[in-house]
Amino acid sequence: MASTNDLKNGMVLRMDNGLWSVVEFQHVKPGKGPAFVRTKLKNVMSGKTVDKTFNAGVKVETATVDRRTMQYLYNDGTDYVFMDPDTYDQLPVSPEVVGDASRFMMENQEAVVARHDGSVLFIELPASVVLEITYTEPGLQGDRSSGGTKPATLETGAEIQVPLFLEQGTKVKVDTRDGSYLGRA
């Protein structure tokens, strides 16, 4: 159990027969009336996001989530296989749990695997990764009808928008949360 005053981003709560991760929270102290905590919660299993307001100081049940840094080894055709670097135990994770993270995962890359009661809840990649452009059309100088960007395919197979001056073989830094181009690496 924890108080709503102790909430932090990433904390997992057990509510309404499910697990909910705190995406963001805000303590509000109005001039009149009691203080309260406004939160945005994301269902760990379905991905559904809801806004919920708690009175300040109310007890909420927290879930014990084991977060471990694991190494992504390979995709065996059905599951993504991760390995614990300490024990060398291998853990298969279904594509539904990995979700969009698979677009930016390279073999031997580290990721945080969150588990609760033996089942994998979600995979967290670093905020940004460095990947190589495997294919992109040459950018035409003076072509600004597309806002100065063009599509590029990365070594993982993901397609992102990059500036016109980038060429095939260039390493770029990519935001793993939204797939946006951050700069050359």
Q: Taking the domain 66-124, which CATH number applies? A: 2.40.50.140
User: Percentage of the chain surpassing pLDDT 70?
Assistant: 95
Q: What is the mean pLDDT of residues 88-116?
A: 89
Check pLDDT > 80 for residue 147.
no
Please report the pLDDT score of residue 140 as a whole number.
67
The two tokens of residue 179 are 């797939």
Phi, psi of 182 (to 5 degrees): -105, -25
Q: What is the arithmetic mean of pLDDT over 154-177? A: 90
141 pLDDT exceeds 80? no
Q: Which fold has domain 128-184?
A: OB fold (Dihydrolipoamide Acetyltransferase, E2P) (2.40.50)
Confidence at residue 84, expressed as pLDDT on a 0 to 100 scale: 92
Bigger pLDDT: 138 vs 143: 138
Contact 157, 103 (CB under 8 A): yes
Residue 182, C-beta contacts closer than 8 angstroms, at least 6 positions apart: 128, 172, 173, 174, 175
**CB-facing half-sphere around the CA of 71: CA atoms within 13 A:** 10
Please, which pLDDT band fits residue 11 given cuts at 50, 70 and 90? confident
In the chain, where does the domain assigned CATH 2.30.30.30 lie? 2-60
Q: Do residues 19 and 45 lie in contact, with contact meaning Cβ atoms separated by under 8 Å?
A: yes
Which DSSP string do the residues of 96-145 spell out, in sequence order? HHHGGGGGG--TT-EEEEEEETTEEEEEE--SEEEEEEEEEPPPPTT--T
What are the residue ranges of CATH 2.40.50.140 in the chain? 66-124, 128-184
Q: What is the dihedral of CA 167, 169, 171, 172, to 10 degrees?
A: 40
Residue 149 has pLDDT above 90, yes or no: no
Average pLDDT over residues 24-51: 89
Residue 142 confidence (pLDDT): 62
What is the structure's pLDDT at 101? 86
Given a cut of 90, whether residue 51 has pLDDT beyond it is yes
Looking at residue 145, what is its pLDDT? 59
Question: What's the CATH architecture for 2-60?
Answer: Roll (2.30)
**Burial class for 40, CB neighbours closer than 10 Å (0-12, 13-18, 19+):** middle
Confidence of residue 72 (pLDDT cuts 50, 70, 90): very high
Collapsed DSSP state (helix, strand, coil) of residue 61: coil
Q: Which two tokens stand for residue 23?
A: 């995406």
Q: What average pLDDT does this structure show over 59-70?
A: 90
Q: What is the mean pLDDT of the chain?
A: 88
CB atoms within 10 A of CB 163: 15
Give the C-alpha distances (Å, rounded to integers) separating 178 from 116, 127, 150, 152: 26, 10, 17, 15
